[in-house]
Structure formats: structure tokens, C-alpha cells
Amino acid sequence: METPRVIPSALRVFEFSLGQMLWSRRSVFLALLVGAPIAMALGIRIIAAAHGLPVINGAGLTGPTLFGILMWLLFVRFIVPVLGVFYGTSLIADEVDDKTITYLFTRPVPRSAVLLGKYFSYLACVVLLVLPSVIVVYFLIVPIGGSIGQSFPQLAADLGMLVVGLASYGAVFSWVGARLKRPLIVGLVFAFGWESTVLLIPGYLKRLSVAYYLQALVPHAMPQDSSISSLLSAFQELPAVWVSLVCLTGITVVGLWLAGRTVEKREYVLEQ
């Protein structure tokens, strides 16, 4: 019997994985993650309507500035890596933990197609949740002293950046999830330990992180909210946008290829 090709098989896996991923226990966590910025934006909107936005150094904050701060602090530095870690590492690891991976691997589809289909369903799931959340936050915040039309190119750039970021983090952590036994801990250490640290160290080490390339795509100025941010700004040496895009695409492709190869070669021993 001829083995089905990778892409049609991956699409089939995608189809059933999407629903599974959307309505799983993890979705509660996901809903909290994307709902929190909306609740925060709603709160800011109500406060701004009643008292106006706070004044810093004698000058009033504006909606577009605040939106930029939210993008940096909530989405770029927290939500995108967290989603990548939690969902990326679970693509294969969850099936192993639930001891259901055998059912998938005994199907007449290439093993890499299983991973690819699950990766696409992760991407669709997070994109369909995160992007609408950003758009709602944008429409709640930006009109406070700002113009929707004028800030629109920044929103478009933000959305593109988020998709690229989610794809890259997802690919890296799907490999981590396929390769390691305790992928979540390693993923969290990588996302919030390694990435934050290397960005502070002058030199070439920062090029071994996803955040370095992703930050170059953010169209807003980096907020000076803490001493770490000030240090980051001091050592800020961002690559060109095209370099970032090429590198992030490379990270995604290589991450997926490594993950697919690992899934093809590795023998998963299920604990009894």
C-alpha cells in the first residue's frame, strides 16, 4: 500500500486537532491570556472617559502610546512566548502523556505529518484568538487621543509580527516537545531565562534567541518601564527588518524540520 503524502495527511490531522485544541482544558488558560488585555483595555477606556489618561512629566499619555506599551509588555514579552511554550511543547508531549500517540503512529500517515498537522492547528488556534484580541484592544485604546486611521499601518505591522512570532516560537518548542521528556520546564527556562538574559549581554549571543529578531519587527518604541528595559535599550542593536524576517522564517523551517525528523526517528516509550 502506498503511504499517503505529508501535506494531505497533515491537513487531515489539522482538521481534527483544531477542535481538540480549541476545546481542551488549556483553552481556559488561553482565554484568560487573550481576555486579560481586553479587560485591561476596557478598564483603561472607562478610566480615560471619566478622568482622562495619566500625565507623565507634565504631558498626557495618548492612546497610540499606551497601545504600543501594551503590545510590548503583554504581547511581545509575555503572551507570544507563553503560548509558544505551552502549546508548542504539548503537540507531541500531550499524546505521549495521555498514551494516545500509539493510535496516531499506527495510522497509515507519515509521522512528520502528525506533527505538521498539529503545528498548523496550534498556529490557527492561537492566531484566531490572539489577533482578534489585539484588534479589540486597538479599537478600545487608540481612539483615546489618537487616530485609528493614522495608527493603522502600525496595527497591520503588529499583527504580522505576532503571526511570525507565534509561528517561530511554536516551531522551536514543537521540536523541544518532540525531543525532550520534560519539555515544559526547558521551554519556560528558554523563553524567560535564556532569551531575557542573552538580550542583556553585549555581543553575538543574542542572535541565538527568537526575541532578538522579533523585537526588530515591533513598530513601537521599547518602553522604559524598568531597569531591565533601560539596559535592553542601552544594548539595543536591532537587525534590519528583512534580516529578522529571513531569520525568523529560517528558525520556523529549521524548527519544524528538526521536530519532524525527531518524531520520525524517535521511539516513544510509554510509561505503564
Kindly indicate which of the ranges 42-50, 143-151, 198-206, 228-236 contains the residues binding other proteins, using the contact rule CB under 8 A: 143-151
Buried b / exposed e across 120-136, counting CB within 10 Å, b at 16+?
A: bbbbebbeebbbebbeb
Q: Locate cell 531565562: which residue?
A: 193
Binding marks (x or -) toward other proteins, 159..198, rule CB under 8 A? x---------------------------------------
Among 141, 155, 166, 214, binds other proteins (CB under 8 A): 155
Per CB under 8 A, does 141 bind other proteins? no
| Phi and psi, residue 240, nearest 5° | -65, 155
Q: Which of residues 43 and 132 has its CB atom nearest to other proteins in the complex?
A: 132
Range in contact with other proteins (rule: CB under 8 A) among 109-117, 145-153, 186-194, 261-269: 145-153
CB atoms within 10 A of CB 108: 9
Q: Is 23 in the site for other proteins (CB under 8 A)?
A: yes
Q: Which window, 11-19, 73-81, 162-170, 253-261, contacts other proteins (CB under 8 A)?
A: 11-19
Residue appearing with cell numbers 487621543 = 145
8 binds other proteins per the rule CB under 8 A = no
Locate 39 and state its grid cell: 479587560
Residue 19 vs 193, nearer CB to other proteins: 19
Alpha helices of the chain — where are they, by DSSP H?
6-22, 26-51, 63-70, 80-88, 90-97, 101-105, 111-141, 148-179, 183-189, 195-200, 210-215, 227-234, 241-265
Residues that bind other proteins (CB under 8 A): 15, 18-19, 22-23, 56-62, 64-65, 124, 128-129, 131-132, 135-136, 138-139, 145-153, 155-156, 159
